[in-house]
Amino acid sequence: MGRLLKILLITLFAIIVLLAIAVFVITQVIDPNEFKPEIEKQAQEQANLTLDIQGDLAWQFWPSLGVSLGRTEARIADDEELFAALDEASVSVAVLPLLYGQVEMDGITLAGLNVNLVDGPDGANWEQIGPQTPAEDTAAEEEPAAEDEGSSSLDIPLTIPKVVVSDGKVRYRSTADGTDIVVEHFNLNAQDVNLDEPFPLQMSLRYQDQSDMRVDMNLDTVLAADIDNNHFVLNPMTLDANIAGATTMPVDVHLEQNLDVNLNEDTVSIKDLLLQAAGTETKGNVDISALTGDMQLSGKLATAPFDANKVLEAIGEAPIETTDSQALSKIALDATLGGEPGSVMASPLTLTLDDSTLSGSAGLASLESGKIIFDLVLDKITLDGYMPPASGDTETAAAGGGKTGGTASLSSDELIPVDTLRPLLVDGELAIGTVKYDSITASDMKFAVSAKNGVLQLTRASGSTLGGSFSAKAKLDASGSTPKITASNTVSSVQIQPLVQMALEDDLAKGVFDMNGSYSASGNSEKALMNSAKGTIDLSLADTTVRGLNLYSTLVGGVNDMLGQFQGLATALIPSQESGKLPSALSEDTKILDLKSKARLDKNVAYLDSLSAVLQKGEITGNGWMNILNQDFDLKIGMQSPELGTSKYLTGTTWPLRCEGNLGGSPAKWCGPDKDGFKDIGKQVAANATKDKLKEKFGIEGEGDTTEEVLKDAAQKKAKEEVNKQLQDGLKKLFN
């Protein structure tokens, strides 16, 4: 037995020595570079590649048996441009397992890979790889040689201890659309690669494109790959990336997840997701089915509260300045994903903005069409804290320029992004419980919007505010070459005081107003829209007080100035006033009991075509205009007032007033009497008073005579009296 064992050991040692000698002879005697011409020939015939093996082919013997390849370049056919190249490649197997008839890969390395992919009008360059001459027709395809049952084969390995790819580069260019993508610094390191068992994998690369987008990425995962079933699991998976070009400052992104991709079943599952970027953190789980068909999502995502300004700081953008320093400091998202196949919906969806909560549903109703739908409810919001801080400069620019003023500030730059709006498909509704801004509170607000074929519509905007209600509709038609805007609005029984105070920063008026308006404009810049603006407005006021402006006092002042020019008639004109002057009103305000007006908008000017109002002391009518850009205005008003006294010369007279200036000015300086008009009225009043005095003096009756006729009658009467007197004197002398 001992002798037999000794013989077996000697035999085994002899075999090992012979194999070692054989391997040594193969690696040292046979020069692999002799195969270069054959390799290059096969590359030309089988792949249409011109191969240039510049480096040496070399054997390696211990501890692994393998072959290495030096610098090699490949060009498609006879193209001068390089298609692919590599600096070094090697494949090796462990030596000792070969002695037992087993093949165990020791490793695969690939260094300096460089690939250029070009897609042009005649097709892509990689499409030219492969045999260029069709194979001859044969009567029957050759059947693969059947493996002899008794034949022996080596045990092909299932595990590769190491796969290394270093400093790889792939460039893709499209001459059609200018796309130029480069993936470089590609490194891959995989250990114990086995398609039956999970194995660790590390990868890093840099991505750049023609838009200066750059992504540096590092991936660390454990990969389980079922090639036969196209099933890949990365669990766990950690991805760190630095993204530059999308924002002012590069952004670091950290991603953790368990990723399960099953291509045969067309599903993707993301579990234990953790995404951190620019100060935000999102967690959740997402399942995707029908990945290449009518995709369907399910799962939940939650973004922890974050500060918007800290996010902006992280990406290099300026912070949003707000009146409340704590505004935008707590933003959070909670969404449950679902929806019909071919859609992506978040329902329920909850978005928290500080003390406000937006809830409901939103998403893409169709991935194919990109239609956006939403049905959301905002419980409450106070806008004051989100407004920009008040400027330290309290000075306001002097207004002026009349009807044409303010147009210089209008921009000719493109205002409406028509190319972005035209493909939009939108159908959504938003309800807001309460909105507070300044001293104004609006409630029960409802909005509905739609977009299709380049036409965007605000189909509903309604709510309650300031004791009344409002509603509006609007449409933007961007389907044609020139955008067109139409809008209408209705306001019912709304208190005017807070609106005026907010707009003019002055407590100018209080009361209730109603308004109906319709408007239109076309163009794609501020200047074009204002130059084409048209509209009509019906406005009414009730129980209104205009502060700092008393039209009655303005009228009285004008009348008194006019009467001062006729000192002799003043007492006769105003018999109730010994001073011959009307007393001014004690109040500095104008009380409007009821007002009706009609206006039209033409370019940047609102023309007041008609105005009629009943005041506490009189009635007014008028017309005029106001520049809506610089708030200059000019109104001509006719006023009647029974308060002027019992004088028949003043009662029923329509007195012309002129109100002009700017809404930003002092109301006390807006209105004054039309001096020429008052002068003409004064002449007429004086003439009427003189006529009546002459009639009274000369006993002339009748109301229809003019002053000239009265004077003529008076002269005739005086002459007749003189004749009669002379006649009587003559008769007396005659009879005496």
What is the predicted pLDDT for the residue at 160?
83
Which H helix or E strand runs over 244?
A: strand 231-244
Q: In the predicted model, what is the mean pLDDT of residues 187-203?
A: 90
Rounded Cα gap, residues 381 and 361, in angstroms: 19
Cβ-Cβ contacts under 8 Å for 441 (sequence gap 6 or more): 434, 435, 465
- Mark whether 718 and 645 lie in a shared domain: no
Higher pLDDT, 79 or 599: 599
Q: Give the DSSP letter of residue 564.
A: T
Q: In the predicted model, what is the mean pLDDT of residues 710-726?
A: 51
Residue at 336 is within a domain? no
pLDDT in tens, 332-382: 999 999 999 999 999 999 999 999 999 999 999 999 999 999 999 999 999
- Mark whether 717 and 691 lie in a shared domain: no
Higher pLDDT, 296 or 4: 296
Q: In the predicted model, what is the mean pLDDT of residues 416-429?
A: 95
Higher pLDDT, 418 or 89: 418
3-state secondary structure of 693: helix
- Mark whether 595 and 715 lie in a shared domain: no
Residue at 562 is within a domain? yes
Q: What is the DSSP string of 403-431?
A: GGTTGGG---S--S-HHHHTT--EEEEEE
Residue at 647 is within a domain? yes
Residue at 137 is within a domain? no
pLDDT exceeds cutoff 80 at 98: no
pLDDT exceeds cutoff 80 at 537: yes
Rounded Cα gap, residues 703 and 693, in angstroms: 12
Question: Residue 2: which pLDDT band, with cuts at 50, 70 and 90?
Answer: very low
Backbone angles phi, psi at 482, to 5 degrees: -120, 120
- Mark whether 552 and 594 lie in a shared domain: yes
Question: Residue 593: which pLDDT band, with cuts at 50, 70 and 90?
Answer: very high
Higher pLDDT, 321 or 133: 321
- Mark whether 703 and 629 lie in a shared domain: no
Read off the pTM: 0.78
- CA 618-619-624 angle, to 5 degrees, is 135
Residue at 130 is within a domain? no
- Mark whether 648 and 566 lie in a shared domain: yes
What is the predicted pLDDT for the residue at 711?
53
What is the predicted pLDDT for the residue at 41?
75
Weakest-pLDDT range from 546-555, 643-652, 664-673: 643-652
- Mark whether 554 and 655 lie in a shared domain: yes
Cβ-Cβ contacts under 8 Å for 554 (sequence gap 6 or more): 657, 671, 672, 673
Query: With contact defined as beta carbons under 8 Å apart, do 498 and 440 qualify?
Result: yes
Residue at 320 is within a domain? no
Residues pairing with 275 in the sheet: 255, 282
From start to end of 307-343, where are the E strands?
A: 331-338
Query: With contact defined as beta carbons under 8 Å apart, do 488 and 471 qualify?
Result: no
- Mark whether 669 and 617 lie in a shared domain: yes
Q: In the predicted model, what is the mean pLDDT of residues 662-671?
A: 88
For residue 561, give its domain range. 533-572+580-695
What is the predicted pLDDT for the residue at 643?
73
Residue at 491 is within a domain? no
- Mark whether 625 and 712 lie in a shared domain: no
- Mark whether 674 and 635 lie in a shared domain: yes
Question: H-type helices in 89-192, by residue range?
Answer: none
- Mark whether 537 and 686 lie in a shared domain: yes
- Mark whether 683 and 707 lie in a shared domain: no
pLDDT in tens, 475-531: 999 999 999 999 999 999 999 999 888 888 888 899 999 999 999 999 999 999 999
Q: What is the dihedral of CA 348, 353, 355, 357, to 10 degrees?
A: -20
Buried/exposed 448-473: b ≥16 CB within 10 Å, e otherwise = bbbbeebbbbeeebebebbeebbebb
Cβ-Cβ contacts under 8 Å for 524 (sequence gap 6 or more): 414, 415, 416, 418, 482, 483
Residue at 303 is within a domain? no
pLDDT exceeds cutoff 50 at 735: no
Total number of domains constituting the chain:
2
